[in-house]
Structure 1
Amino acid sequence: MPPQRNGIADYSAKLLQAMAPLHPCHVYCHDLAVDLPAGVELRDPAQAFRHLSGSSPILHQIGNNGGHVFALEALRAYGGVVSLHDLSLLYLYELASPRLEEILGRMTGPTGKMGQAYARHWRENRIKTAANYVLFDLIGEILALAKRVVVHSRYARNKIAAVYGSEASAKIDVIPHFAPVLSVAGQEVARAAIGYEDAVPLVLTSGFATKAKRFDWLVEALDELARRGTDFRWVHAGEERASEFDLSGAIASRPSLTGRCRITGYVSEEALDSYIAAADVVVNLRFPSVGESSGTLARAFAAGRCCIVNDTAAYAELPRDAVVHLPVFGTVPALADALEGLLTHPDLRAIFGERARLLAQTDLAMDQVARGYLATVANAYPPGRTMRAAAARTPPVAMRHRLAGTASSSTDIIRLGQEAGLKRGDFELELSFAGLDDFAELARSTPALLRKALPEHVTLDSVRFLAGSNGTGIGLSILGRSHTLEPTA
């Protein structure tokens, strides 16, 4: 919830404001210093057990940042309906998981050998690339524990079906991202509020300046536009993330953009409304997309702004007469041409803006979205039925299981080790060798043999030698714990 500086906090607050008049609501929030609508009670998540049972209807808001670790833990403890704001939760699990092996186990589930390879690189060489966050979504536990899951696009539902199958997708309800009622009315009022008195058309971007928002494309397109002689101003209403994309540096490298661009830094929700309403064109690019929706884009629809998006993922579902779609290949020249046409033809901007406003007032209306959420929660908790609570907060430790075998080659050891990692929980792998010399030869020929024998999602706790049966040979006892994809029921 606000004052946390992220879009899901704003989303949660506005959704609650629309739902509270329709149904009694209580809010569990990690931050207890928040403002809530009248009649809504704020509760401490640590005290949730005093109020909740298996039949208590619960709606979790879960996104891919540290503010939602406690919400993930609450889902594990109490079950419920999940509003899934991101289709990739790898970063959330990095913050929530005390052991790397648990993350690696979830990576190797739906993606098979590819997940195993990336997990091995991460574990053995500490190699983790940006591709991990696209390839491995780690939403399997959410899909297993949630009674229903809300996503904001058909693309998101179809992607889940493709990766996790029809059983998982049967839990999905598509409820679009709402378009809020803005705190400012009219472009002239908004421009006065932000101190923009220039008659030159204004291009706006907003939010965190991340790499996926393709500011590199926009900078190049605006540079081309300036060289063509088209006049404009560009404001980015949001914070830079230089570690992801050096927006200031990219602008500074283009002399044609000098004096045309401004980065505001973080702005309040009210100020953001003013910047959006003041703009002539709002640019909201995403590539590669993981199916996310944009709260600032929905605000732009509510303001009746002309918007430019990529023709990909969830954005491809937006009506063709409400936004300008750009291809994901050859985007820069297409973006330059689109901006030139829109900035020099106010009537064309107005047509797209009015269609966007109509979309905001119908399909994306706050009241309709709130009622959709309440219907989903009601369907997940049928009246007169007591719903079984979710897993305990601390999963029980599985009984230790033992595997034993005789190993005459490194292949035997690796095979037996892979079998040991199939079950969740503690295990003991016991190997027999003809003699100490045989074991020494295997260890010499295959460095790190025992670590290679265990899957990436296995923790190696201890290794000890055992006396062979009848005083011959030698044994090896390997103790460890397997962290698999499946949540403990």
Structure 2
Amino acid sequence: MADSVFSKLFEKIGTLIGRDPNEPHRPFSLQEVQQILHQHHDALLELYGVPIEELRARQLRQRILEDTSSAGNSLCNPHTTERVFAGDWAIFTPLPPTASGIADYAAELAPSLASRLNAIYIIADDAPTPEHFGFPFERLSEWKSNQERDRATPRLYHLGNSHIHEYILQEAMQQPGVVVLHDWVLHHLFEQTMLRRSDSDTFRKLAVEHHGPLGEVIADLAERELSGDAFRFGLPMTAPALQNAKAVIVHSFESMYRVRDLLPDIPVQRIPLQYSRSTDCEETNASDVRKRLGMHPDRLIFVALGLATVQKRLDSLISTLAAIKEQIPPFELWVVGELPDSLGLRELTIESGLANHMHVTGRVDMNTFQAFIDHSDVVVNLRFPSAGESSATLIRAMGAGKPCVVFDSGSALDYPGDSLVRIPIEISSHAGLANALRSLACDENARQQTGSAAANHIAKWHAVDQCADAYANFMLSVTTERDEPSR
């Protein structure tokens, strides 16, 4: 599907800006292509990305419905109540204080895994030293210095789409193990890892091997630092990362089906993201907590959680709130995370007349992060295009009983319709977002009902001990299968 889409995308480039009438057949240079992509990024996404994502969502929704409606299907009951011991494992993952959601995830899961397997955690040689972790860890070079132990210990790889996973990608491609695939799209990781090492030949080889002629075009763009997100998200580069995988763990139905379709012979298990509160709510007076956090005690609080990126569509949120601000109660918008200047969102806030409404916290500790969730009214969690990730911040917000607004696609389809407010994917138009925010802002009962349904669902399916049981059972099955004599 991606090949045909991007072939059409290249054809559309000429239509968007018009060809030179004196040279109608002249091919565009790579620099011209990049300039056009920057100028028309949103238009190209809307023309091709949105319809394809909507088609995927329809197909995904149907597959989930068929699977979960089958009698006795394990997808209806993804957790297990059986306690097993999975043996010794080396878990390759970033850990806090590395600024990574996957680092936080692995650290939160560690206490529950501790009674189910013997784990030693392997971090990068240049990673910051884990703080208050409480479980054994070693740096990569230290771990690999004992070759006998290294060969004898099964491996679990937490793999995500950022450069901090470079050492994990290299190990996973060299030595078989169980891969926890946090992001379906790994193009950014491969590009950053290989081109940073000036290994463009390997990047080109893998791109061509897994994406054909279009992969060669993208490799050319990447090598010259001309590639854009439209290409990166369209060409996931997932297969080479999983070529040595003994098994794969994913967090969403979407990723599970994609792995099955791509590599049907590799076992894949969907284990939902666990939910565990980072802190108990010790302060009971909401006004006092809001005052401490800097929130207005009586205004409606919208929050966007985590590092702001283009994909989180904060520009859409700001523009929409500006358009409806006279139609809803007095409000504040809090960005609980970092807001890069390169996004131009502070300027947009001023232009939109929301300068006195928006506040940015920067990166905060987990207790403060949880407090902002607990004392918000509406959480907006938009992601497009998506790398196929399941949002840990969304799980936190739902678990805390907050109504969340999401795009109707990808991992958002894992959750019941009454537990979220799902809207169509929009780029230039914000009608769906405006309707959702206006309805929630003006209807406290709707907020409470949606939040309650969210909290109930997360409590039932995302409890950390259930997730740890699922990990241990699946990891044990993989090592047992490995140890069985061949027939």
**TM > 0.5 fold call:** yes
1:89-168 pair list within 5 angstroms: 89-97=186-194, 98=197, 99-123=199-223, 127-162=226-261, 164-167=262-265
133-142 or 27-36, which deviates more: 27-36
**Counterpart residue number, 1:181:** 277
1:438-457 pair list within 5 angstroms: none
Per-residue CA shift, 1:245-292, capped at 9, x if unaligned? 22212211111x131110111111111111111100000001122311
Instruction: Give the CA deviation at 1:57.
Output: 2.4
Instruction: Give the CA deviation at 1:193.
Output: 4.4
Partners of 1:381 and 1:387 within 8 A in 2: no
1:187-336 pair list within 5 angstroms: 188=286, 190-243=289-342, 245-255=343-353, 257-329=354-426, 332-336=430-434
Partners of 1:308 and 1:326 within 8 A in 2: yes
Instruction: Give the CA deviation at 1:326.
Output: 0.6
**Residues of 1 paired with 2:400 and 2:278: CA distance?**
7
Write the letter of the residue equivalent to 1:22. R
Which of 29, 48, 53 pairs up with 2:143? 48
The structure that is strand-richer by fraction is: 1
Per-residue CA shift, 1:356-385, capped at 9, x if unaligned? 111221111111111111122112111782
**Residues of 2 paired with 1:172 and 1:47: CA distance?**
31
**Counterpart residue number, 2:107:** 13
202-211 or 131-140, which deviates more: 131-140
Q: 1:363 to 1:46 in 2, by over 3 A?
A: same
2-11 or 183-192, which deviates more: 183-192
Instruction: Give the CA deviation at 1:196.
Output: 2.6
Instruction: Give the CA deviation at 1:91.
Output: 2.2
For structure 1, list consecutive stretches of 5 or more residues without a partner in the other structure.
389-489
**Counterpart residue number, 2:90:** none
349-358 or 78-87, which deviates more: 78-87
CA RMSD of aligned residues (A): 2.3
- TM normalised by structure 1 equals 0.73
**Residues of 2 paired with 1:247 and 1:365: CA distance?**
36
**Residues of 2 paired with 1:32 and 1:126: CA distance?**
29
Q: 1:41 to 1:120 in 2, by over 3 A?
A: closer
Report the 3-state secondary structure (helix = DSSP H, G, I; strand = E; otherwise coil) of the residue aligned with 1:17. helix
**Residues of 1 paired with 2:137 and 2:158: CA distance?**
15
Q: 1:117 to 1:33 in 2, by over 3 A?
A: closer
Instruction: Give the CA deviation at 1:129.
Output: 2.1
Write the letter of the residue equivalent to 2:322. D
**Residues of 2 paired with 1:214 and 1:127: CA distance?**
23
Question: Which of the pair has more CA radius of gyration?
Answer: 1
**Counterpart residue number, 1:339:** 437
**Residues of 2 paired with 1:68 and 1:29: CA distance?**
10
Instruction: Give the CA deviation at 1:142.
Output: 2.2
- TM normalised by structure 2 equals 0.73
Per-residue CA shift, 1:91-141, capped at 9, x if unaligned? 222332231121121111232222233334445x65322222112222222
Per-residue CA shift, 1:377-433, capped at 9, x if unaligned? 112111782899xxxxxxxxxxxxxxxxxxxxxxxxxxxxxxxxxxxxxxxxxxxxx
Per-residue CA shift, 1:192-218, capped at 9, x if unaligned? 541434211100001111001111211
Q: 1:16 to 1:187 in 2, by over 3 A?
A: farther
**Residues of 2 paired with 1:337 and 1:304: CA distance?**
21
The structure that is helix-richer by fraction is: 2
**Counterpart residue number, 2:21:** none
**Counterpart residue number, 1:445:** none
Partners of 1:152 and 1:177 within 8 A in 2: yes
Instruction: Give the CA deviation at 1:241.
Output: 2.3
93-102 or 201-210, which deviates more: 93-102
Report the 3-state secondary structure (helix = DSSP H, G, I; strand = E; otherwise coil) of the residue aligned with 1:117. helix
Instruction: Give the CA deviation at 1:90.
Output: 2.0
**Residues of 2 paired with 1:65 and 1:292: CA distance?**
12
Partners of 2:98 and 2:128 within 8 A in 1: no
Residue correspondences, number: 381
Instruction: Give the CA deviation at 1:153.
Output: 0.7
Partners of 1:54 and 1:386 within 8 A in 2: no
1:75-86 pair list within 5 angstroms: 75-86=172-183
Partners of 2:173 and 2:242 within 8 A in 1: no
**Residues of 2 paired with 1:154 and 1:21: CA distance?**
28
Q: 1:222 to 1:5 in 2, by over 3 A?
A: same
**Residues of 1 paired with 2:171 and 2:228: CA distance?**
30
